[in-house]
Amino acid sequence: MADVNTPTPEAHKRKVVVDDLRKGMYVCELDRPWLETPFLLQGFPIRTDHELEMLRRLCSFVFVDTERSAYVPPEPASPPPSEPRVEIREIPAALKPPSTEPDRFRRDMAGAARARNLAHDYVIRTLDDVRLGRGIDTREARKVVAELASQVVEAPSAMVWVTQLKQRDEYTSQHSVNVCILALTFGRYLGLDSPVLSTLGLGALLHDVGKLKVPLEILNKPGALTADEFEIMMSHPVEGHALLVQTNDVPQEALDVVLLHHERGDGRGYPHRLTHEQIPFLTKVVSIVDIYDAITSDRVYHDGLQAQEALSRLYQMASHGLDRDLVEAFIRCVGIYPIGAVVELTNGQVGVVVGLNEHQKLRPVVMLLRESDHVTPTRRRLINLASEAWRNTPDAPVVRHVLLPSDLGLDLRALIREQSGLDAGPLTAESGL
């Protein structure tokens, strides 16, 4: 068989396993003689599904000409070696309940909203920079993470609540910020020290930066992705890793988060199909909060789940690809009645959970939204259901059950904006609580 093509220089050859082949790649060499295959030319661009199917059936790998290919993924990083098991230590006191003093509560909410908005602005600017071919400002990313971490220490409950300032049409940018906040909160609950938290937060904030290389018509598609579209979507961890490696300013552990956050311990993740022992600890942390925020968010193709159902889904996933110990720790961190849950109390009052109590998870801090007689209070009241004021009180209120915000016609985003000072209204603490 005559070779009618110009030979490919060795420097332009890339070995690609057949499962990673895509249309547009230029195949310049096979793992077997050309005469043993039905291909008419030695060297050709992949144009059809039939050609892909034939290559995958006949070969284990091929060599691709990177100069002649319409698309070649960046060279993936080598899978990390097996990591020693990290002992999980939980520090519930790190998630102190919010103050029920009105001015202090408002200050905490204002600080949390300010830090969240600064981070969101940074992510939006980064999206624009990458789309325009500019680099990623990792120095500013570190400052953003430092500010978020400071607020997580100062007002963890407020930071968790502002992650619910979500809008369906801004999912990608808001998701990156939310994953960072939740990862920092969870990491602090796990007792991670400040340098490790900074690395965790940096990886979490930038974990999805590779999605900027995914066409918007795929990223925002309202229906199910085709097999080819899903292949492109699955390239985003490798693309993000390649973008950040160029900066020479991101710790390896944060790079691992970006590259490996879709790996699953059962070997069914991507891009390397790693096992539990090969997935780094910080990556496992981000993977859990990434899934949690994704399935509780409204997206173009589905409505978000309520927190309780999302935690149930996570627990089920722990039987397959997620780290069970970490999932269970995350559920304890978030709480049985997570911040933002709308609850009815045993005395008939309705409120929203705004904080958790370390030793009494069944008795959270709530902001009253409706009195027992169904009247909306004229002033917002904060009640700590674990307060000493309830001691030895037989009819002390506790949570009866969780309600859907839609059942009450409640706009939680508007309530958060109100309590952050963007739409101020009166707020008081329950007397003696």
Domain of 138: which CATH number?
1.10.3210.10
Q: At 157, is the pLDDT very low, low, confident or very high (cuts 50, 70, 90)?
A: very high
What pLDDT, in 10s, does the model give residues 339-367? Answer: 999 999 999 999 999 999 988 888 999 99
The mean pLDDT of 381-403, rounded to a whole number, is: 87
Residue among 295, 297, 290 nearest 170 (CA)? 297
The model's confidence at residue 4, banded by pLDDT at 50, 70 and 90, is very low
Rounded Cα gap, residues 173 and 126, in angstroms: 9
Same domain, 298 and 163: yes
Does position 424 have pLDDT exceeding 80, yes or no? no
Note whether residue 279 is domain-resident: yes
Q: Which of 314, 334, 354 is the last residue of a domain?
A: 334
Q: How high is the pLDDT of residue 431? A: 32
Q: Are residues 100 and 244 in the same domain?
A: yes
User: What contacts 13, CB < 8 A, 6 or more positions away?
Assistant: 28, 29, 63, 64, 65, 66
- Strand runs (DSSP E) across 34-110, as ranges? 44-45, 61-65
The CA distance from 47 to 228, in Å, is 13
Considering only 62-66, 81-85, 135-139, 355-359, which range has the smallest mean pLDDT?
81-85
Residue 426 has pLDDT above 70, yes or no: no
pLDDT of 195 reads: 94
Residues 162 and 306 occupy one common structural domain: yes
**84: CB partners within 8 A, 6+ apart:** none
The count of structural domains within the chain is 3
Q: Are residues 295 and 370 in the same domain?
A: no
- Is there a domain that residue 73 lies in? no
Q: Return the minimum-mean-pLDDT range out of 88-97, 157-166, 330-339.
A: 88-97
Give the C-alpha separation, 189 to 329, whole Å. 9
Residues 206 and 274 in one domain: yes
Between 83 and 103, the more confident residue is 103
Cα diameter, the chain: 93
| pLDDT attached to residue 3 | 42
Report d(CA 63, CA 65) in Å as an integer.
7
Contact status, residue 283 vs residue 256, Cβ threshold 8 Å = yes
The answer to whether the CB of 147 falls within 8 A of the CB of 201 is no
pLDDT tens per residue, range 171-206: 778 999 999 999 999 999 999 999 999 999 999 999
Query: Is residue 83 a part of any domain in this protein?
Result: no
Mean pLDDT of the chain: 86
Beta strands (DSSP E) in 71-174 are: none
Q: What's the full length of the chain, in residues? A: 433
Residue 390 DSSP symbol: G
As beta bridge partners, residue 88 has none
Identify the domain boundary among 294, 318, 334: 334
Instruction: Give 8 or 259, the one with higher predicted confidence.
Output: 259
Whether 87 is in a domain gets the answer: no
pLDDT band (50, 70, 90) for residue 338:
very high
Please list, in sequence order, all residues whose beta carbon lies within 8 angstroms of the beta carbon of residue 332, skipping any fewer than 6 positions away. Answer: 90, 92, 361
pLDDT in tens, 72-100: 655 555 566 666 667 788 888 888 889 88
Which residue is listed with tokens 């930071």? 159
User: Is residue 404 pLDDT above 90, yes or no?
Assistant: no
User: To 10 degrees, the CA torsion angle through 208, 333, 312, 384?
Assistant: -120
Q: Phi first, then psi: give them for residue 301, nearest 5 degrees.
A: -115, 0
Q: Are residues 270 and 122 in the same domain?
A: yes
Over the stretch 249-290, which tens digit does the pLDDT of each residue have?
A: 899 999 999 999 999 998 889 999 999 999 999 999 999 999
pTM over 0.75: yes
Whether 187 and 320 map to the same domain: the answer is yes
Same domain, 321 and 351: no
Q: Is residue 117 part of a domain?
A: yes
In whole angstroms, how far apart are CA 31 and each of 50, 63, 89, 219, 228?
19, 8, 49, 34, 24
CB 205 within 8 A of CB 119: yes
Q: Is 86 a member of any domain? A: no
Element (H, E) at 285: helix 281-295
Domain extent at residue 105: 92-334
* Shared domain check, 358 and 330: no
Band (pLDDT 50/70/90 cuts) for residue 427 is very low
In a shared domain, residues 289 and 412: no
Average pLDDT over residues 328-348: 93
The helix/strand/coil state of 350 is: strand
User: Same domain, yes or no, for 142 and 241?
Assistant: yes
Last residue of a domain, one of 334, 363, 391: 334
pLDDT of residue 20: 79
Q: Is the residue at 321 inside a domain?
A: yes
On whether residue 82 sits in a domain, the answer given is no
d(CA 253, CA 267): 20
Query: Are 108 and 148 within one domain?
Result: yes
Q: Summarize the confidence of residues 235-239 as an average pLDDT.
A: 92
